[in-house]
Structure 1
């Protein structure tokens, strides 16, 4: 039998990966369009996430590559920055108070969730603390590997928390009347071609600068900051076409749903009760702080709920865009929590987790 030339063999897996990406985005687009047509809360991002997640759990090898993820996050950041100029920095005076309470809420929910996982499900302390830490998944993963923690279990808890929040938060806000059940389309004009070119180039440049400085969520926040400055200074009027914003939201939803493609059903089912229980504890504790802020400040409750939701930054900011919630307020709080978790989690694991000797044995 003749051997397949190496040049052809190299093309085959690339074509297979391309087909997986196309399938992922097609399923996400269908789910997003269906939710949008039904006027369901969350629309494009929630529909895409649920459709892709369901297909992934059914066994489809869905996949979103890094360069597509980066492009989607840049588009999302540009869209968020375009909205910022119209809302500007509301409730700036409340930021120090709410960010301080967010730090306290983060620590309380982490310890509460980890205590639940240890006492009810018998988890070791290190795995429980890492699973209970909201956000900063890449840092959590590195710590889990270094400390010999139960990485699959941690991944289930972290992923289920993001999925539930992204799917349920818009519906909860709609049912409680905090946000509209079907948000109207953004009344944002489309920038001229030269302005669009300047917007994209500036966003990419700042995103790359932040990337080299290891700034968290650099692609999204770099684009968001550049877009905010250009719009706030009046150098750019309007933003991306509405269909491009839709592509960004579908892309984020597909990215979240595709996480289930890397997760075996047996692993998911084995830890789903722990994931749901720890999620309930985290939401209960966060809800107490949200209620406290809602009763003592003039900040909109919907802004506080999304800002304090223990979900991924990209998903929560995408929801802010979809639900017309102040993206500056939400972004400031999620980046602050990322810093809290990144700085504090290694120390917490060192003080309260398993001794390093136990891991090495």
Structure 2
């Protein structure tokens, strides 16, 4: 049987999301704001979604955006001298410890000051891996809407505020620099896309996390590193990927009631502040004891969504290898450790079944 075509309503919803996201991204880009395409698209789509517009990014568009983002990141890999590889085991170990400490710190805040149950508090405090956290929350009978609000607030703040903070600190330029000097030829672009899709599908078969993005990133890195491909994506294609990531984050508000959001804003802001303060201690520790750039450490340790943080690395000219390795490590750590933490420290399973 042929696959069913999307309904006109779904098509219109996707088009509306793209148009609103592009308008917001171009507005922020025109205002010369750091990470303008991502944060502008995210803010515009988020506001429209909260206003009641049924915005959505269909799966095929999401996968396309992630593949384009991976290709762009991979085209930088050969240009990065990977001078910090020797520091990876140390910094990834500290990242695991920072994730553990910030999760417990934020969950304590939610329990102590907002009277959350332990399971909901631990799941809301776990950075990244939102889809896995949501599934686990539903299985354990936790407060899924509250967890979604806290997780979303953290991602939104980081995506919008992190570029501004880095620019104010002088660690990133307001406008994204020219990352790739040349554009790949049509034949090279075809090779990039085919190889990226092949590796992504292979990783998807083995259930590798973020397979579409990392598969494309690996394929692009190999092709660029071996000299088979010299140029990168056209600027308009790279820009479309960044707008797409921002719009995707903004659509998280589409199924969220304004009353639900407002009811948990304080909890989200407070737990975010706790997580940032704890992460800052580890960032300072690494900066003072290694030769890794401060901007690279900040984005690598930022407790935000992996795709959004890697997109920011692309726009702010931050080492994508270092950032990608650390966000992937944290994703794996959270995915593996969170169920065990919830089982040991969360609400007993008997309480859930009552």
1:271-282 paired onto structure 2 within 5 Å: 271-282=264-275
Q: Deviations over 1:282-308 (max 9, x none)?
A: 001001110111111110000000000
Shift of 1:11: 9.2
Q: Given the alignment of the two structures, is residue 54 of structure 1 paired with residue 47 of structure 2, yes or no?
A: yes
Give the superposition deviation at 1:89.
1.7
**Which residues in structure 2 correspond to 1:1-361 (within 5 Å)?**
14-361=7-354
> Structure 2: where are the runs of 5+ without partners?
none
> Are residues 352 and 35 of structure 1, via their aligned partners in 2, closer, same or farther at CA, if it must alter by over 3 Å?
same
Mapped partners of 1:88, 1:142: distance in 2: 39
C-alpha contact (below 8 Å) 2:180/2:231 kept by paired residues: no
TM-score (normalizing by structure 1): 0.96
SS in 1 for 2:55: coil
Measured in 1, the distance between the counterparts of 2:177 and 2:67 equals 23
Contact 2:177 2:315 (C-alpha < 8 Å) held by counterparts = no
Task: Report deviation, 1:13.
Answer: 7.0
Q: Once structures 1 and 2 are overlaid, which stretch shifts more, 217-226 or 181-190?
A: 181-190
| 1:309-328 Cα distance to aligned partner (Å, 9 max, x none) | 00000000000000000000
**Which moves more between the two structures, 126-135 or 56-65?**
56-65
In 2, Cα distance between equivalents of 1:11 and 1:135:
33
- What is the rounded CA distance, in whole Å, between the counterparts of 1:86 and 1:139 in structure 2? 34
Correspondence for 1:6: none
Give, in whole Å, the separation in 1 of the partners of 2:147 and 2:61: 26
Q: Secondary structure at the match of 2:79?
A: helix
1:177 and 1:58 mapped to 2: Cα distance? Answer: 36
Counterpart-to-counterpart distance in 2, 1:106 and 1:187: 33
| Distance (whole Å) between structure 2 residues aligned to residue 237 and residue 94 of structure 1 | 29
CA distance in 1, matches of 2:72, 2:5: 36
Superposed CA deviations along residues 10-53 of structure 1, whole A, max 9, x for unmatched, are: 99971011011001000000111111111111111111111111
**Mean CA deviation greater in 308-317 or 83-92:** 83-92
1:178 Cα deviation (Å)? 1.6
What is the aligned residue count? 352
CA RMSD of aligned residues (A): 1.3
